[in-house]
Amino acid sequence: MDKRTTDFGYQKVAFEEKAGRVADVFHSVASRYDTMNDLMSMGIHRVWKRVTLERSGVRRGHRVLDIAGGTGDLAAKFSKRVGDTGRVVLADINSSMLNVGRDKLTDLGICGNIEYVQANAENLPFDDNTFDCITIAFGLRNVTEKSKALRSMARVLKPGGRLLVLEFSKPINPVFSRVYDEYSFRVLPQLGRLIANDAESYRYLAESIRMHPDQETLKSMMEQAGLERVDYTNMTGGVVALHRGIKL
């Protein structure tokens, strides 16, 4: 039996428990996920995702994997870029999020070049050297073994392919960091209670952000996973960072 522990927010839980605990969070919030994203970020998450799209280098005919793709914001944009000769796979470990994403994109009429796969980022069910680009937006911090997931992503990237990790990170200004902490631990749980009837899930969100590796640590982890020319861009004062690496 695996006796290792890992972080679930500020709690320590057994390795085998974390995936289930995270699943419960996202089953709870799936139906209100988009609404809460807009409220929590005051709509800025759309700018962060637009930057990710532009830095991806994705073009017509490419194969793209969007891990922890949730309700499909990035997948929808990639679908238009790759066209009818390309392919987008929206993958998520959580069935509730995957179903919300499928329904949303189907309602938008986006269905011809997208497929949906329930998958664990640590053990991606794809052949080596399959994708031109992989993205994971606001999902890596919920993964139990982040290094294992990064190696799995590198494995299924084609040579020359790009991995982009968009994730909450560490603010670079100490004063702003204190304001951000107040917002995260006081306002977010209250928004969760009012909008999604779930304060605890959004308290976990705030805690999971604080436990996620900082910018330089994540850069090092991506390099150790076999990616080259890894760099990152801080956005909104480092509240979010976009890391990018290439498989050579």
Q: What is the pLDDT of residues 122-139, one digit of tens each?
A: 999 999 999 999 999 999
Q: Which domain holds residue 44?
A: 5-173+202-246
93-117: average pLDDT:
93
- Please indicate, yes or no, if residue 155 is contained in any of the structural domains: yes
Amino acid 36: pLDDT: 78
Which ranges constitute the DSSP H helices of the chain?
15-29, 33-41, 45-55, 73-82, 95-107, 146-156, 174-182, 188-195, 199-211, 215-224
- Please indicate, yes or no, if residue 182 is contained in any of the structural domains: no
What are residue 135's phi and psi, to 5 degrees? Answer: -125, 150
- Please indicate, yes or no, if residue 13 is contained in any of the structural domains: yes
Q: What is the pLDDT of residues 4-63, one digit of tens each?
A: 899 888 898 898 888 888 878 888 887 788 787 888 888 999 999 999 999 999 999 999
Higher pLDDT, 241 or 29: 241
For tokens 């890391």, the residue is 243
The CA-atom distances, in angstroms, between 144 and each of 16, 130, 202, 239 are 9, 24, 18, 22
- Please indicate, yes or no, if residue 190 is contained in any of the structural domains: no
pLDDT for 1 beyond 60: no
Helix axes 95-107, 15-29, angle to 10 degrees: 40
112-130: average pLDDT:
97
- Please indicate, yes or no, if residue 74 is contained in any of the structural domains: yes
H or E, element range at 242: strand 240-246
The CA-atom distances, in angstroms, between 107 and each of 100, 102, 110 are 11, 9, 8
Q: What is the pLDDT of residues 162-212, one digit of tens each?
A: 999 999 999 999 998 999 899 889 888 888 888 878 888 889 988 999 999
What CATH code is carried by the domain that includes residue 55?
3.40.50.150
- Please indicate, yes or no, if residue 61 is contained in any of the structural domains: yes
Calpha distance 60→7 (Å, rounded): 40
CA angle 145–151–157, rounded 5-degree value? 135
Per-residue confidence band for 217, with pLDDT thresholds at 50, 70 and 90: very high
Distant-in-sequence, close-in-space partners of 21: CB < 8 Å, separation ≥ 6: 8, 13
Distant-in-sequence, close-in-space partners of 33: CB < 8 Å, separation ≥ 6: 26, 70, 71, 97, 100
Amino acid 205: pLDDT: 85
241-245: average pLDDT:
98
Amino acid 81: pLDDT: 97
- Please indicate, yes or no, if residue 186 is contained in any of the structural domains: no
Amino acid 42: pLDDT: 87
Higher pLDDT, 22 or 237: 237
Per-residue confidence band for 2, with pLDDT thresholds at 50, 70 and 90: low
Helix axes 199-211, 188-195, angle to 10 degrees: 150
**What are the binding residues for S-adenosyl-L-methionine?**
71, 92, 120-121
Q: How many domains does the chain have?
A: 1
- Please indicate, yes or no, if residue 98 is contained in any of the structural domains: yes
**What are the binding residues?**
71, 92, 120-121
pLDDT for 144 beyond 60: yes
Q: pTM of the predicted model, to two decimals?
A: 0.92
Amino acid 53: pLDDT: 97
